[in-house]
């Protein structure tokens, strides 16, 4: 049972209903990203991603990401995954909020747990599905109006080893 506790906690956070205050605010976000990662056995890969996430509580965001990575020669990986993100409460400095081009209130430093499947395809017809697990750290900047954001991030995990990139998106 103790082995399943992290997975059960992750699933609980994903499916727990959103609180009323966030549901009335713009809590759903759609994002697109570009990244570089070590998703191939022989070097790096270029990735593109699309994400949809919902803010459940003040510091917790959950969602799904679909990433497609390839090395433009003989390797492609398709990675659907779910995530749970926690915003660290380090970004509540009022002097920065008023003077910055970016709105720190709707973002900030975060850590994120990822869980999914990596479907690896090579030149041959063989398709190899693998369990995907990872940890992502980043910083979300919302522009002053709060509707658009950019988000640099670094990640590590299996099977991609490490990666980094930039996501951008909007809230609706």
Question: Using CA atoms, how far apart are residues 162 and 4, in angstroms rounded to an integer?
Answer: 25
Q: Are 43 and 34 in contact (CB under 8 A)?
A: no
pLDDT in tens, the chain (172 residues): 555 555 555 555 444 444 443 444 567 999 999 999 887 666 788 999 999 999 888 788 999 999 999 888 788 889 999 999 998 877 555 444 444 444 455 678 999 999 999 988 876 667 878 899 999 999 988 886 778 899 999 999 988 889 999 999 998 8
Q: Give 29-171's CATH code, choosing from 3.30.230.80, 2.40.160.20, 1.20.1600.10, 3.30.750.24.
A: 2.40.160.20
DSSP alpha helix (H) spans, 16-138: 20-24, 94-99
């Amino acid at each position: 049972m103790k082995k399943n506790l992290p997975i059960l906690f992750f699933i609980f956070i994903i499916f727990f209903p959103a609180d009323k205050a966030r549901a009335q605010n713009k809590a759903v976000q759609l994002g697109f990203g570009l990244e570089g990662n070590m998703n191939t056995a022989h070097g790096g890969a270029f990735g593109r991603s699309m994400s949809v996430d919902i803010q459940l509580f003040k510091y917790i965001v959950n969602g799904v990401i679909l990433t497609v990575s390839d090395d433009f020669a003989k390797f492609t990986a398709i990675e659907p995954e779910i995530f749970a993100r926690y915003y660290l409460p380090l970004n509540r400095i009022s002097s920065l909020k008023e003077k910055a081009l970016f709105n720190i209130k709707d973002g900030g430093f975060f850590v994120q747990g990822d869980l999914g499947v990596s479907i690896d395809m090579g030149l041959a017809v063989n398709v190899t599905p693998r369990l995907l697990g990872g940890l992502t750290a980043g910083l979300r900047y919302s522009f002053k109006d709060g509707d658009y954001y950019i988000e640099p991030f670094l990640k590590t995990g299996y099977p991609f080893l490490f990666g980094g990139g930039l996501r951008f998106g909007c809230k609706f």
